[in-house]
Amino acid sequence: MTTFPPLLVIAGGTATGKTGLSLALADALGDVEIICADSRQVYRHMDIGTAKVSAADRARVPHHGLDLVDPDELFTAADFQRHAYDVLPVIAARGRIAIMVGGTGLYLRSVGRGVPLDEGTADAGVRAELEARLVADGLHALADELERTAPTLAAATHLANPRRVVRALERARLVGDRLPEPPRGYPAPSLWIGLRLPRDEQDRRIAARAAAQFAAGLVDEAVALRERFGVHPRAFSAFGYFEALAVADGEIDAATAIERDAGRTRLYARRQASWFRTEPGIRWIGAEADPRPVALELVRTWLAGMRPLADAAGSALG
């Protein structure tokens, strides 16, 4: 039987300090390995623009989920789930705790909640066709088709949401009128902590990060990636890369690029906030002050609560 380690999930929007908190908790607790749950940090050679943890920090604390594929390769949430499920038993065998940290909500949910991810329910060609029809025929026509051909999925779909209607029709085309399997849960103790900021403070940090990334060489990194791999939308959708290439090509200046980068990132942060509002059981901590003392107390209380269970199991085996 596969054994999984205790799992601490650190969730939240961009620029809220998740990486710093994960490293601080790893230092305080010891015997910790970190799994990064970021859909752009899986790409090799994309370091500055994805705010990857430094090589020195990776040497200090083992990290997983980084540099898994090249920027021109497809990598899905199901791929991340498989990677995490391969890594977690190894962490358990070493007697360590796993910290999964990131802002990609589906990655966190797929592992931390055990959400089944059936790759057979996704097809880029089918989705492109449906999205073209959405533009040509409108949402009402697609919603009518969903209700007519897949009533079970239609009943569970917000029919005023174009993205969800397209996704439900895609699923219906590929696997029929059946709902996704329910989450299986994480097979060991877990604790979810979330970091959040007042909007104006998060926006300030986003702008500061964008400026720092351009100062650190984002334009050179983007140009090197284009020369080696071309421009691949999956990878280059990471914020800052298209803006950096526009600077390199003389289309805009650095100040404009930083402003556009920060603007796109702010919109993404709003989408992250909407996602995490639907995620149950997160212990939220305000990150405008130092979140480490509160987070460490939560984690230590959680770990102490596991010890009686381990002692009872040991007594029963004895």
Q: What is the pLDDT of residues 79-134, one digit of tens each?
A: 999 999 999 999 999 999 999 999 999 999 999 999 988 656 677 788 889 999 99
Q: Which residue has the tokens 């003389």?
A: 250
Which secondary-structure segment (H or E) carries 286?
Answer: strand 282-286
Residue 307's pLDDT band, with cuts at 50, 70 and 90, is low
- Structure-token pair, residue 277: 């509002």
Judged by DSSP in three states, 312 sits in helix
**Distance of alpha carbon 156 from alpha carbon 312, whole angstroms:** 42
pTM given for the model: 0.84
Q: What is the mean pLDDT of the chain?
A: 91
Q: Which residues of 39-73 are buried (b: 16+ CB within 10 A; e: fewer)?
A: bbbbbbebbbbbbbbeeebbeebbbbbbbbebbee
Q: Kindly tell me if the per-residue pLDDT of 311 is higher than 50.
A: no
pLDDT in tens, 7-60: 999 999 999 999 999 999 999 999 999 999 999 999 999 999 999 999 999 999
Tell me the two tokens of residue 246: 């526009």
Domains of the chain from N-terminus onward = 7-117+183-311 (3.40.50.300), 119-175 (1.10.20.140)
- Residue 145: CA count within 13 A, CB half-sphere: 18
